[in-house]
Structure 1
Amino acid sequence: MVSKSGRTSATSPSAVWKFYVAGNASSSYAPFPATIIAPASNAVVPSSGMDSVSVSFQWTATDVDDDIAFYTICLDDKNATTKVKTLPESTMTFTLLPFKTYYWRVITTDRAGNTSDSGIYSFSI
């Protein structure tokens, strides 16, 4: 969040917090949604005139139970519904075509089968 006053052009960003609601004991908590690092939403990845571009993807995720099992990456040029890779790491690289806008998201799954969704991010090449 960014706060802004009508009396000045100065803005002030706030910290981002994650939390869970305490209650009756649970045997398993869902992981927090992954935080996208790169490519950031609305980023422009330069193609440098190449026919294809190697794009590095990176994210972070946390879980109260510390039992993240894997991440499913959804990536396509329409709505990020195509599952393209499942992996245990929080980084990967894809070779993509230039002159397109891509949409991607990360679904985090823990060992109990609980999931969370990062939300959809887009970038252009």
Structure 2
Amino acid sequence: MIRNIIGLSIAVLLVSCGGDDGPPPAPKGAALVFPEENSECTTGTDISETSTQVTFRWIASDNTESYTLSVVNLDTNVPQNISTTSTSASLNITKGTPYAWSVTSRNSASDQVASSATWLFYNAGSQTTYTPFPAQLVNPLSGSTVQKDIANEVLLEWSGADVDNDIESFEVLFSDTDPPTTSVGITNASTMEIPVGVESGTVYYWRVITTDLEGNTSDSGVFDFKVL
């Protein structure tokens, strides 16, 4: 009887020692290196009169087997994606054009992915002055549902950048129709938020037009959100 009890105890101990080790570690987000954030990329290899080949580089991230590089033409919003196990990849992109790029880290042992920061840059062209990067709409997130404050307002927030560092103003267009055409305010280069009046149960649309000292403008594109 005692022998049976001892045998059973050992079996239970072995099972507990060989139990679940938990989920595999999730990949970490990569740190971007080049092209640098809010910069003009001048090191591409000429492919034609209109395009250059640019090599994107980042730092290896933990628990990662492969990476997906995503490069988005901000004039057309068309992305180019390429997968690699390396920490660099080359793509042919259009000269004189603003781009956003980011890297997604993946591991086949995990169902989770990790995204890097998103950096903006201009691929060098023949121009000597550059249009501002389209404003990046930060809050509210597009498609989100938000709570208005006690003053029946929601705070719109964005970020802006320019290679020439000569942004003059941001104009916010906001309405309950798409696309929004009602201007609710113009802010200076250092002010990237504005409160707007809202009503519950309504979907709103907003966009930001950035203007620099040369008169160049860029359009953020339209975001929408619903108010509880």
Q: Equivalent of 1:46, from 147, 151, 154? A: 147
Q: How far apart are residue 86 of structure 1 and its match?
A: 1.6
Q: Equivalent of 2:185, from 76, 81, 85? A: 85
Matches of 2:148 and 2:130 in 1, distance apart? Answer: 41
Query: How large is the RMSD of aligned CA atoms in angstroms?
Result: 2.3
Residue of structure 1 equivalent to 2:130 = 29
Matches of 1:25 and 1:36 in 2, distance apart? Answer: 27
Q: Equivalent of 2:203, from 95, 101, 106? A: 101
Matches of 2:183 and 2:105 in 1, distance apart? Answer: 37
Q: How far apart are residue 41 of structure 1 and its match?
A: 1.0
Structure 1: gaps (5+ residues): none
Matches of 1:13 and 1:23 in 2, distance apart? Answer: 29
8 Å Cα contact 2:170/2:211 also seen in 1: yes
Q: Is 2:160 the partner of 1:58?
A: no
Q: Secondary structure at the match of 2:184?
A: strand
List per-residue Cα deviations over 1:60-91 (Å, max 9, x = no partner). Answer: 10001111111110111111222222221211
8 Å Cα contact 2:148/2:198 also seen in 1: no
Which residue identity does 2:210 align to in structure 1?
Answer: T
With normalisation by structure 1, the TM-score equals: 0.83
Q: How far apart are residue 17 of structure 1 and its match?
A: 2.1
Matches of 1:107 and 1:25 in 2, distance apart? Answer: 21
Residue of structure 2 equivalent to 1:115 = 217
8 Å Cα contact 2:148/2:154 also seen in 1: no
List per-residue Cα deviations over 1:92-113 (Å, max 9, x = no partner). Answer: 1112111100000101000111
Structure 2: gaps (5+ residues): 1-69, 71-103
**Which is worse superposed, 5-14 or 57-66?**
5-14
Relative to total residues, which structure has the larger helix share, 1 or 2? 2
Matches of 1:56 and 1:84 in 2, distance apart? Answer: 12
With normalisation by structure 2, the TM-score equals: 0.48
List per-residue Cα deviations over 1:31-74 (Å, max 9, x = no partner). Answer: 001111111112211248x7x72111111100011111111101
